[in-house]
């Protein structure tokens, strides 16, 4: 089961992007073939800005959800069974056990998953580039793709470097925010 969960995460990013590009291709893609099979008309997935964004989001969620699931599974396995047994003896419902035991004990794993997913979301390049090259127009262009275009295509190394530093600062700020939240006393309420 764990191997099956890790398979999407283990595939190279560009390969995943190319697979999903084929899935969402207008004439021969699996998604449009399925739409036609149920009596609907095919959609221009990779040439409509909104649909291209949705297609890329689906590809990225498929690619990264296995890693998040594995991190959460590891977090769930660290919760002692005795806590649930004690709560059950005290008359706690399953819902109360989830809110009072599972969620607080799973918070570090959730934060680790959020940190990794936030950093990779900020730095996403491969899947959108393989699927649409930032198009149609620049509707699906990410920060990393813009930095690449600025430095490689336009040879503006100074501006590209400044953008890379900005992306680094955004990544550090997001990570610091998550880590500060993790270090907070669990009894404190968010302000």
**pLDDT attached to residue 52:** 97
Structure tokens at 187: 């009894």
Residue whose C-alpha is closest to residue 68's, from 131, 160, 5, 124: 5
Span 121-142, average pLDDT: 94
User: DSSP states of 63-127 as a string?
Assistant: HHHHHHHHHHHHHHHTS-HHHHHHHHHTT--HHHHIIIIIHHHHHHHHHHHHHHHHHHHHT--HH
**pLDDT attached to residue 186:** 52
The model's pLDDT over 60-84, given as tens digits with 9 standing for 90+, comes to: 999 999 889 889 999 999 999 999 9
User: What pTM did the predictor assign?
Assistant: 0.83
What domains appear along the chain, each with residue ranges and CATH number?
Answer: 2-183 (1.10.3720.10)
> In angstroms, rounded to a whole number, what is the distance separating the alpha carbons of residues 67 and 6?
7
User: Can you tell me which residue has the tokens 């595939």?
Assistant: 11
User: Can you tell me which residue has the tokens 């021969």?
Assistant: 28
> In angstroms, rounded to a whole number, what is the distance separating the alpha carbons of residues 144 and 122?
8
**pLDDT attached to residue 10:** 86
> In angstroms, rounded to a whole number, what is the distance separating the alpha carbons of residues 44 and 40?
13
> In angstroms, rounded to a whole number, what is the distance separating the alpha carbons of residues 72 and 112?
9
Is the pLDDT confidence value at 190 over 50?
no
Cα 72 from chain centroid? 14
Question: Is the model more confident about 99 or about 186?
Answer: 99
Q: How confident is the model at residue 12 (pLDDT cuts 50, 70, 90)?
A: very high
The model's pLDDT over 159-176, given as tens digits with 9 standing for 90+, comes to: 999 999 999 999 999 989
**pLDDT attached to residue 182:** 73
Q: Are 98 and 139 in contact (CB under 8 A)?
A: no
**pLDDT attached to residue 93:** 94
Is the pLDDT confidence value at 21 over 50?
yes
> In angstroms, rounded to a whole number, what is the distance separating the alpha carbons of residues 6 and 62?
11
The model's pLDDT over 84-102, given as tens digits with 9 standing for 90+, comes to: 999 999 999 999 999 999 9
Mean per-residue pLDDT of the chain: 91
User: Can you tell me which residue has the tokens 């706690």?
Assistant: 92
């Amino acid at each position: 089961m764990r191997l099956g969960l890790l398979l999407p995460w283990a595939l190279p990013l560009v390969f995943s992007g190319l697979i999903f590009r084929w899935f969402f291709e207008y004439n021969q893609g699996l998604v449009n073939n399925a739409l036609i099979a149920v009596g609907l008309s095919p959609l221009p997935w990779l040439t409509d800005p909104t649909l291209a964004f949705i297609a890329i989001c689906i590809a990225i969620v498929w690619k990264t959800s296995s890693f998040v699931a594995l991190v959460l599974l590891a977090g769930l396995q660290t919760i002692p069974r005795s806590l649930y047994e004690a709560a059950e003896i005290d008359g706690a419902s399953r819902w109360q056990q989830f809110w009072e035991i599972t969620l607080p004990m799973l918070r570090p794993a959730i934060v680790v998953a959020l940190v990794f997913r936030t950093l990779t979301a900020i730095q996403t390049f491969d899947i959108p580039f393989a699927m649409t090259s930032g198009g149609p127009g620049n509707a699906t262009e990410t920060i990393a793709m813009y930095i690449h275009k600025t430095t490689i295509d336009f040879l503006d190394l100074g501006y590209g470097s400044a953008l890379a530093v900005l992306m680094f600062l955004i990544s550090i700020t997001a990570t610091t925010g998550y880590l500060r939240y993790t270090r907070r006393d669990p009894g404190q309420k968010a302000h």
